Amino acid sequence: MDNNIKIFNPIFLRRDKSFLLSKVSIIVLFILSIALYTVCPISVDKLYISILVFIYITGSSIFINYYKRYYSNVQWLSLSIIFLISYMIINFQIPILHLFGFEIKGLFEKFIWADINIANKSVAISTISILGYYFSYILANPLKSSGFKVTTSYSKSSSMIFLIIGSYLMYFAFFITSGSYKYGYYGNNDQLIISNYFSAAFNVFLPAMIVTKLYYINSIVLKDNKINTYIKAIGMPVSVLTFWHIMFSFFIGDRGPVISYGLLFFSLFLIQYKKIKFRHFLLILVLASVTFAIIKEARTRTSVDSYSDRLSNAYLSYTQSEYFNAVNIPMQTTVDLALSIRNLNHALYQVPENHEYMFGHYQMLQLLSCFPGLAGIYHKIILDNEYEYQGSSFFLTYMQYGKNAESGEGTMPAADLYLDFGIVGVIVGFLLFGFLSKKIDSTIINKKQVPIFFWILTLIYFSGSVYIGRATFLFYLQDVVQIYFLILFNNVIVRSLKSG
């Protein structure tokens, strides 16, 4: 549309004013949250937390309104929306339950809060972080169309023969060496050592295979929006192995592959061809949270029980609260995810009072892990091969349980960035991720043709959107880089076969 028409079109004028209002409002809330952080009370203060939660809710409402107007409709399965929902659960469910009087049992208070007085600072950083994300997302421009054309076609299986053969070989090798896994039992740790390497290789080959097919589908227009047409376009070799892996993972209770590969495989169909309405999205969230909560409990039951017995016992367990004084609490099904806030709480409790900041070492380790061996060399030479300096999750585990911990803690973006750079690092990290999220959303929603590396980054981060809130912003970069080089190698193999 001509720029002059846009200038004098009332619809565009109203939209521009709305966007400006959204930007100004988010900036004001962002600055206000930073100001509140500077006067954070020493002792837990429900009024202070309530004000921060109100600011968070207000900012989120403004962002959703902007998002809806920007894309003409809310794409409920985008990276940003899924990330924000998981962020809400992880960073705010426990504090909000605290405000409404649902107190954590004394036995678990230190485990979750580290120190209850940390709650003020934890909620303040959570609020600042997400408002920074909103601010940069609204301010960022979408990925520009530079006339890029997809030159490599993956319409036929022969164009990705190395990826297909590699995926099936790695899966079969992993499966037969997986111990009790192949009989339907999760986490018995009786697999052969080499099985872990086969599994790691498979989880590079399979995404590479799916991504290349979706790269082709994104460059064309399917004849209709039916699911069978979409699956046919992806092809049988890719679809059969993906569906089998998803269904078997569901059977044994491994939620990760079900969610990540489900989102990856159906991404273009659900976003470009069959847009999910809000009521359907809400129904999916409710059913998924209940189902995966029960599955998570079922996989921890004794392996001598039948699968139906494990599910039955798991249902009884999931309906009762283990961590709270009240038997029944709101959103019980998402408590397991919400407990990840303990990682931020313990990071704030330990640093800088008991340990200095790491000044970028944890981010450097994640960047170097994109290339096999480099992170290990860096850790050995620069960080003296110390257990707690392998990453932020190792540090949090060490500070709570020492070097001989029987189980490990996780991490989360705010905790990971805070351990390296403090509050400044958290703000900068979320600003950058908001900027990237805008590029990713606009690419997949607007069906843009982009270079293969950014396409891989787009789909891998989208498929991991549920888990980013309990990982780190750089966590999936290793997968992106390895998949990229694997696809390049496949292209070399295919060209060699054709020329030969």
Q: pLDDT of 167-190, one tens digit each?
A: 999 999 999 999 988 888 877 788
Closest to 59 measured CA to CA, from 94, 96, 22: 22
How many CB atoms neighbour CB 255 within 10 A?
A: 18
Contact between residue 319 and residue 333 where contact means Cβ atoms under 8 Å apart: no
pLDDT of residue 2: 43
Mean pLDDT of 7-33: 77
> What end-to-end distance do the CA atoms of the chain give, in Å?
49
pLDDT exceeds 60 at position 430: yes
pLDDT at 307 over 60: no
- Hey, what's the torsion of the CAs at 306, 311, 313, 316, to 10 degrees? -170
pLDDT of 303 higher than 70: no
What backbone torsions phi and psi does residue 104 show, to the nearest 5 degrees?
-75, 140
Average pLDDT over residues 4-12: 48
Residues 459-475 as b or e (16 or more Cβ within 10 Å = b): bbbbbbbbbbbbbbbbb
- Which neighbouring-strand residues pair with 324? 104
Of the listed ranges 30-34, 207-211, 322-326, the least confidently predicted one is 322-326
Least confident stretch, 16-30, 97-111, 205-219, 303-317: 303-317
Quick one: pLDDT at residue 428? 98
Largest CA distance in the chain: 73
* CB distance 82 to 276 below 8 Å: no
CB 299 within 8 Å of CB 251: no
**pTM of the prediction?**
0.91
Residue 302 CB: number of other CB atoms within 10 A? 9
Question: Where do we find the tokens 């293969």?
Answer: 452
- E strand segments, 204-272: none
What are the b/e assignments for 213-224, b being 16+ CB within 10 Å? Answer: bbbbbbbeeeee
For the four alpha carbons of 143, 148, 149 and 155, in that order, the dihedral sign comes to negative
Find the length of the chain.
500
Determine the Cα–Cα distance for residues 404 and 12; give it in Å rounded to an integer.
61
- DSSP 8-state symbol, 219: T
Q: How confident is the model at residue 265, as a pLDDT?
A: 97
Q: In sequence order, what are the residues at sequence separation of 6 or more whose Cβ sits closer than 8 angstroms to the Cβ of residue 240?
A: none
Geometric angle at alpha carbon 405, from 400 and 408, rounded to 5°: 75
Q: Which residues contact 149 (CB under 8 A, 6 or more apart)?
A: 449
**Residue 371 pLDDT > 60:** yes
